[in-house]
Amino acid sequence: HNCPHLAEQTQQHQSQRIMDLTIKYDGRVDNHSSLAHLWNDWYAKYWRDAEFPFVMVRFEDIIFHPKNVTTQLCECGGGKIRTDRPFQYIKDSAKDGPGHGKLSERTGMVQAWIRYSQPLAPQGGFSPLDYEKCQEYLDPELMNMFHYQHAPPSS
């Protein structure tokens, strides 16, 4: 199975079946039509539906511009970035504890730079069916808001 495995061909290869997703939280269960629909639904709860102030920060902005993002977030919340010492970069994985996998498999700052600075592979490395379904399922408004583009097609 390829991730994100949004759909699969039926045995007869005549039709496609969407891969639904169930998320169990403490005290509730959410059902989504696929992993792409979860992404759409999650961000829509804030972007479209929230009646309170919120901030959304793209992961890649934290990776590639940590000082600038941290400064803007601090000032947005009414604070000021410390000037009495240099900005401190956390080079190791910020995730700690047994729930975050093996220490040797965690991604630190340099590994994240390498991993997320590569050009997108054709079809994002997805199967042809998942690539097609990403284009169909991912909300174009959210993609635009986050300045995301679909991976290039295969040649």
The confidence band for 25, taking pLDDT boundaries of 50, 70 and 90, is confident
Hey, CA dihedral for 43, 47, 52, 53, is it positive or negative? Answer: positive
Cα angle vertex 131, ends 126, 132, to 5°? 155
In angstroms, how far apart are the furthest CA atoms of the chain? 67
pLDDT above 70: residue 44: yes
Computed over every residue of the chain, the mean pLDDT equals 84
User: Would the pTM of this model clear 0.85, i.e. be above it?
Assistant: no
pLDDT on residue 1: 42
